[in-house]
Amino acid sequence: MTFREATAVRSTGEDTWDTQFAENWDILGNTNGGYMLSIASRAASEATGGRNPVTITGHFTRPGHTGPATARTELVRSGRRFSVVRTSLSQDGAVVLDTIGTFVEPGSGSPEILLSDAKPSELPPPEECFLAVPAADSPFPPPSVGQIELRLDPRMAEFFNGKPMGEPVVLGWMRLKDDEPLDAHALVMASDAFPPTTFNAGLPVGWTPTLELTVHIRFPDASGWIRCEFRSRFVSGGFIEEDGLFWDEDDRLVAQSRQLALVSNG
């Protein structure tokens, strides 16, 4: 199943869309949050006639699971260039995700880069990085990594063997399988596709369910491999923030993300 098929929505009436949380997009039986957010993004895009997300924020209210789901969209504002859309995803009669996003007419953004005060982290080429595949006899890596091609910096891969670096950072490459073209919704999904930074920090933290996730899309026309880097600065009060940067093969920043997650040692 392609990513587009796994995130497809079908209109069933005014502002209502049927969808399906596909198999193997889960972690410990719970559907991946970034994947769910990408479905909400696609539903909102359809509601605007095909506009692309510029920014989308999701608040996760309860876990999702493989199976049918419903998206409901509300067009808050529709202008000549931008639209603002609220979207909720529901399963079994309960909301699992509430989002709000701003969407833009395709091709209306400026290709000019006026300031870029950061550079992507150094990474070996994808073919020299560790291919993450779902584990057969443990929860991690989870089934969701098998739905994309995800390659970790070899220094990062050791935390799966119980040897974390001791730094809250995760670096790697991502692309869709079988040369499927990326779109803006795939960049939304990428924001939650990698292992949590806490795994590499060596902290006594296990489960990190997402509470809130925001993604900013700079250039939705990315192609090929995306260089992804995630860093955290604070783990306190029972929460962790995780900042993501996403670069294309030309070292152009195509997206950013920030996630707030609950930390648990259970």
State the DSSP string of 63-84: ---SEEEEEEEEEEEE-SSEEE
How many of the other CB atoms lie within 10 Å of CB of 181?
A: 14
CB-based contact 18:10 (threshold 8 Å):
yes
Percent of the chain at pLDDT > 90 equals 76
**pTM of the complete model beyond 0.75:** yes
Mean pLDDT for the stretch of residues 10-16: 95
Place of tokens 């093969």: 249
- Please give the structure tokens belonging to residue 114: 């006026």
Measured CA to CA, the distance from residue 41 to residue 257 in angstroms comes to 14
Give 24's pLDDT tier (boundaries 50, 70, 90): very high
Tell me: the pLDDT tens digits for 149-182?
A: 999 999 887 887 788 899 999 999 999 999 999 9
Instruction: Answer with the residue of higher pLDDT: 25 or 207.
Output: 25
Can you tell me whether residue 2 is helix, strand or coil?
coil
SS in 3 state form for 112-172? CCCCCCCCCCCCCCHHHCEECCCCCCCCCCCHHHHHCEEEECHHHHHHHHCCCCCCCEEEE
Measured CA to CA, the distance from residue 5 to residue 186 in angstroms comes to 12
For 94, what's the count of Cα atoms within 13 Å in the CB-facing half-sphere?
8
Q: Report the chain's mean pLDDT, rounded to a whole number.
A: 93
Tell me: the pLDDT tens digits for 183-239?
A: 999 999 999 999 999 889 887 766 789 999 999 999 998 989 999 999 999 999 999
Burial class (CB in 10 A: 0-12, 13-18, 19+), 202: middle
Can you tell me whether residue 216 is helix, strand or coil?
strand
Q: What is the largest CA-CA distance in the chain?
A: 53
- Please give the structure tokens belonging to residue 234: 């604070």
> For residue 111, what pLDDT is reported?
81
Peptide bond preceding 141 in cis form (omega within 30 of 0): yes
What does DSSP say about strands 235-236 and 210-217: parallel, antiparallel, or unpaired?
unpaired
Q: Spell out the CATH class of 3-105+122-262.
A: mainly beta
